[in-house]
Each structure stands twice: as structure tokens, then as C-alpha cells.
Amino acid sequence: MLDIKVIREQPAYVKEQLARFQVDAAIVDQVLGYDERRRTLLREVEDLKALRNSVSKEISTLKDADSRETKIREMRTVGDRISLLDKEVAQVEQEQQAAMLEIRNLPHPDVPDGADDTANPVIAQEGEERQLGFAAKPHWELVEALGIVNFEQGVKLAGSRFYVMRGLGARLQRATIQWLLDLHLGQGYEEVYTPFVVKEAALWAAGQLPKFRDNLYRDEESGLWLVPTAEVPITSLYADEILDASRLPIYHVAYTPCFRKEQLSAGRDVRGMKRGHQFDKVEMYMFTFPDQSYAALEKLRSDAEECCRLLGLPFRTKILCTGDIGFGAAKTYDIEVWAPGQGEWLEVSSCSNVEAFQARRANLRYRPEPGAKPEYLHTLNGSGLGLPRTIIAIMENYQQEDGSIVVPEVLRPYMGGCEVIK
RNA sequence: GGGGAGAUGACGGAGUGGUUGAACGUGCUCGUCUCGAAAACGAGUAGGGUGUAAAAAGCCCUCGGGAGUUCGAAUCUCCCUCUCCCCGCCA
């Protein structure tokens, strides 16, 4: 959510920035209209309440029954007017809030214009689009031959876009999660384990709602939603709280499964494990002072890149353009790893500074100094890393001509010393 | 699933219709005292909104959440949520 003060004071700037996302300026005018009306109503109703309060006090001291009756009758009328206005205020407030929740975050000056993901500039790269000395196979062929992933069983259990991992495949996944968590612990993150279902409010706070409603799984009976990313529960970890400045910055890392309906056109990304309705992810998340969030974003990015580097995967980092950056983000880096079997770069991490966008939605603040007014803090999130794609890249990069897969050295301790999956 | 108790400020804990945004205690901050500390004493210590160039003052709202009664509600009524205890059931 944007700061209403910024909208009020710099509407032209807000409109201009939103225009870069093809967002109609009308929504800004709409918000301004609600805001103006709300404040007008507020002034009137608050004056009346002040009147009522003082007269009520007066009534309690009046001895004379007649004048007492007169005042009470007067205040009855005032009370009616107040409840009428109160309802109007509530109505306008709700409309204003609803409109505010629809407005995306404003981009950081670094964010370039661009139509879609093909316009994201590459800003760093380590490693090449490596060619193996033989015909590289896509991962779905490798895993089927090795019997470590079973796609049919996934379909049998839950339908398309689900799969079952088994044996060393399952273990490779578990090892990777474990290793990633341990790595981030060493980078200064505190591990959290959260519920995998959350209340609706958490989805609004994180900015998943209203936009991604159709992509989320929900249990009607309990009103709980399956998390699409650990970012959602972590954002609300401290919602409605005022954190002491001494606690900041807070860095968290969490493993969760992620559930997304991903209603894509049939035929797109259907092969293999690249895009399922359920996948695992290790997520990094930061709560920082506003003036430190961009330095934190660089740490986040470098911590994510370190995962790729240590796994020995060629990777490159892009900065997302206006056509690709997410709803809540002010600036985002995507990290992609090379998958020689499929012959494409796979996005394994997305690191974003959302500034105060989520903090406002989650009512998440800190107190700069004892006695000072609370301020919204900044939050950042970054995958470190997304699992199936990391595993895909591992399998496709470490495959050998005979179809076996060498286990990256850093993962071997987590695989009981296993060096090759064959 | 059945029965009972409760939800007040950072914490403990008063308060059952009229200067109670809230006694009292603890904690915290500042000051006095002290060589320094402790103790003692004094003062201060919620959030939001509106207001303002920005502040401040003033005003409004907030005693789990919502609706209601009333001139006036932390105090009365209804609904919801959550917490705790007992019984049953089950991983």
C-alpha cells in the first residue's frame, strides 16, 4: 500500500509512475476523492461528537429537571446525526481502503521500462551457457530413467502438475533444503518454521490479494489459505506490532512448501518439474530500517547468488523491468541458473525490496527511539532458492553421458556421502 | 464434541452507567541526592485520526472484535474471536 500522504501531496508523480505500468490515473483521482470526502465528513462528525461530549458532562451536573430534559432532547437529535455520519465515514473509509489495496507499489529509480521479461537487463553473470561433451538430456528423461521421480503417480494422486519423488531423488531434494537452510543460518538469518496455511488477512498484508486470488488454494470451511510462498506467513509474523529499534534488522529464513494453482494455458511448461502446483522453497526475509533497505537488498541478492555459486551452477542476475516486476516490489533482482538439458535459464530466485508496501498493509512498525513516533519499516524477500528448479539445474548440469547424476560436493554430507545418483 | 472461567495500558491488577484514557503497583526514561551505585524522593511514560508548510495546541476514536441500548458505556444487551481449566474423542 502506498502512503496516502504521498498520493495527496504528489499526485502527479504517483500517476506518472503508475503510467509506466499501464495503470490508469483514474484510480489515483478516485482515492483523492474518497480522501477529501472522508476528511470533510470527519470534521463535521467530530465537531458534533465534541459538542455531545461536553453537553453530556454538563447534563450530569444539572439539578433542574426541565433544562436537563431540554438538553437531553437536543442531544438525541445530535446523536442521530452522528450515527448517520459515522456510517458514511465508515463507508467512504472502506472504499478508500479498497482502492488503496488495488494500487501497486511505485518503482525505484533503477527500474527500467520494458514490456515483458525479455526486457530485463542482465547485470551480472558467472559461468557460461555450458555445453556438455555429449547430448544433454532434459531432466524429465534423466529422472524417469533413474526412477527418482514418478510423474504418473503424481497425476494419480492429485492430478496434472503433481509428481512423486522417490529414493535418491527425494533425498536430493531434502538434502538441498537442509543445506540451503544451514547456509543461510551462517549468513545471519534466523530460521522460522511457520504454519503452511494462513488467514486471509496475511494474503492481503503480503500483497498476494487481491491480485492472485485465482492462484491460491483455499479451504472454504475454515477460511484458511495454503501459502503460495513463505513470504506470506513471515510478513505477518509481527503484524500489528511496534518493534523496538534494537531488534532490527531481523533476518529470517524459512522452508515451506508452496501451493499455487498456476492456471496456465494447457501445454505451457507442462513437462517435467519446472512448474507444479506444489513445490518447495527456502525463503529469506528481512525487516530493516527504511534507510538501510537497499543495502539489505544487495546482501539478499549476494546471499542468493552464493547458493548458486556453491552448487557450481552457472547463473546470471537480472534487474526486473516495469513489464515484469511484481505488484508489491519497488526493485527486484531475478537470479537464473543455466539448465543445459532444457537449454534455458531457469529463475531460481527473486529478490525484492518492497519498501514499506507490505509493512503498511500489515501495520508493521518500529519505534526509532524510545518515546518517538512509530514508523513503518521496510521488508524484503528473496528465494534462496526455489527447489524444483534448483534440482533441475543440478541434474541437468551434473548429468553424465550414461545418465547418472553426480551429486554436487556441498550436498554430499547431506546425502549420506552419496557421490553419484545412478 | 460437552461443561466452566476469562480477555483492561510494556507487565501485574482495580474499576458495574457520568471529568476513568483509565486508580494502584511493577518496569522504563529524566531529574534531585551520591565520589559512584543502590535506596529514597520528584516528574514523565499508549496508539490512531484530524489539524499544521512542518510542529504544537485543540478536537475525535480506541479498555479482544463487531452490532445495539443511552443525552452519556471499560461498565448494560446480543453476536463473534481468542485464551485457560475439566470431561470425551483422536493423530
Task: Mark residues 67-86 of chain A whose C-beta is closer than 7 A to nucleic acid strand B.
Answer: 72, 75-76, 78-79, 83
Domains for chain A: give ranges and CATH numbers: 4-102 (1.10.287.40), 117-421 (3.30.930.10)
Q: Is the CB of A373 under 7 A from strand B?
A: yes
Q: Which nucleotide is nearest to A58 (CA to C1')?
A: B18
A381 labeled binding residue: yes
| Length reported for chain A | 422
- The answer to whether residues A18 and A25 touch, using CB atoms and an 8 Å cutoff, is yes
ipTM, two decimals: 0.81
Distance CA A229, CA A407 (A): 27
Strands A164-165 and A149-150: antiparallel
Using only C-alpha atoms, chain A has a radius of gyration, in whole angstroms, of 27
Residue range A323-360, pLDDT digits in tens: 999 999 999 999 999 999 999 999 999 999 999 999 99
A420 pLDDT exceeds 90? Answer: yes
A355 labeled binding residue: no
Residue range A187-221, pLDDT digits in tens: 999 999 999 999 888 999 999 988 888 899 988 87
Residue range A369-385, pLDDT digits in tens: 776 788 899 999 999 89
* Positions in chain B where some atom is under 7 Å from a protein CB: 18-19, 28-29, 45, 47-51, 59-61, 67-68, 70-72
Strands A149-150 and A375-376: unpaired
pLDDT at A17: 94
How sure is the predictor about A264, in pLDDT bands with cuts at 50, 70 and 90? low
A54 labeled binding residue: no
A299 labeled binding residue: no
pLDDT above 90 coverage of chain A, percent: 66
Residue entry with cell 555445453: A131
Q: Is the CB of A47 under 7 A from strand B?
A: yes
Question: Can you tell me whether residue A188 is helix, strand or coil?
Answer: coil
